[in-house]
Every structure is written in C-alpha cells, then in structure tokens.
C-alpha cells in the first residue's frame, strides 16, 4: 500500500491563508486608509445608504431624548431610545457586517446597547440628570467612531 505523507507545507499555507482571511473579515473588514488619516470603510451604495440612514436616525433620537429630558418626560425618553437599542442590530445584514472592521462593530453595537440602557433607565424612573450623563457618555461613541472612520461614496472596485 502506498504511504501518503501529509503535505505539511501545503497544509501550512492553507491554514495561513484561512487565518489571514479570517483576520481580514473579523478585524479589518473591507477598508483602506483615507487621505485624512481615518479609515475608509468600503461599502456598496445601498449598504452605505443604509448605514447613513441609521446615522440620521441616531441624530434624531438623540435630539428627541435631549428634548424629553428637558421636559422631564421619561415615557418619551423610553419611546425614543427603545427602537434604536439592540433591536436595531438585527436589521444589519451579514454581508454588510463582514465589511465592517471590528472596532467599528464594537462602537456601533455598543451604541445600540447604550440606547437600551437609556430606555431602561427611563422605564425605571431614574433621575433625568443620570440619563443625561448616560447620553453624553454614549455620544462619546459617536465622536470616537466619526474620528476614526469614513464612508466614501462610489467605492465599487
């Protein structure tokens, strides 16, 4: 019977290619260095529009929460924050997720979870000031992500 020796070099190469692929998908996403020093996340036009639409929703939600807090209207705080909480993560499809770098996902998902916290604090009747502090901490995610990433248009290559 012919003895087959495993082709360790070929196996090693294959494993490194797979590891590099996994690193790219999980950590780097579909990115390149932008001219202004940030990282460009390269998306298809429809995906980019979906992300930017979600961004405008985040801004609207933030405004609604600031207004509701000023009016001491905790029901309105909860109503504004709840839809943009973790429930909104389910709408991000998997091919888009694969293009987002790990840091982007951490900041993005973290922001959705923070809105869950805000909705829960309002539901539990926490003081408006405490919710305001939570919102201001949450907005540090907006700042950090905008400082690191951009979404250039016309990225199909």
Residues that bind ligand HEC (CB under 6 A): 52, 55-56, 58-59, 62, 104, 107-108, 111, 139, 141-142, 145-146, 149-151
Q: How far is the CB of 80 from ligand HEC (least distance, A)?
A: 12
Distance CA 142, CA 136 (A): 10
Q: Is the dihedral of CA 145, 84, 63, 99 positive or negative?
A: positive
Distance CA 52, CA 149 (A): 13
Q: How far is the CB of 117 from ligand HEC (least distance, A)?
A: 13
Cβ distance to ligand HEC smaller for residue 30 or 141:
141
Who's near 3: CB < 8 A, 6+ residues apart?
none
Distance CA 133, CA 131 (A): 5
Q: How far is the CB of 37 from ligand HEC (least distance, A)?
A: 12
Cβ distance to ligand HEC smaller for residue 15 or 57:
57
Cβ distance to ligand HEC smaller for residue 55 or 64:
55
Cβ distance to ligand HEC smaller for residue 74 or 135:
135
Distance CA 143, CA 149 (A): 10
Distance CA 20, CA 14 (A): 10
Q: How far is the CB of 75 from ligand HEC (least distance, A)?
A: 21
Burial class of 123 by CB neighbour count within 10 A (0 to 12, 13 to 18, 19+): middle
Q: How far is the CB of 84 from ligand HEC (least distance, A)?
A: 8
Cβ distance to ligand HEC smaller for residue 13 or 57:
57
């Amino acid at each position: 019977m012919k003895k087959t020796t495993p082709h360790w070099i070929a196996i090693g190469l294959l494993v490194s290619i797979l590891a590099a692929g996994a690193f790219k998908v999980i950590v780097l996403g579909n990115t390149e260095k932008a001219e202004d020093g940030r990282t460009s996340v390269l998306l298809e036009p429809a995906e980019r529009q979906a992300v930017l639409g979600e961004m405008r929703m985040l801004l609207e939600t933030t405004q609604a929460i600031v207004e509701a807090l000023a009016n001491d209207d905790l029901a309105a705080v909860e109503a504004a924050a709840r839809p943009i909480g973790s429930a909104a993560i389910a709408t991000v499809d998997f091919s888009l997720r694969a293009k987002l770098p790990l840091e982007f996902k951490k900041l993005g998902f973290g922001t959705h979870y923070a809105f869950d916290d805000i909705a829960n604090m309002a539901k539990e009747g926490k003081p408006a000031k405490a919710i305001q502090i939570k919102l201001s901490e949450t907005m540090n995610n907006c700042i950090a992500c905008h400082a690191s990433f951009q979404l250039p248009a016309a990225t199909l290559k």
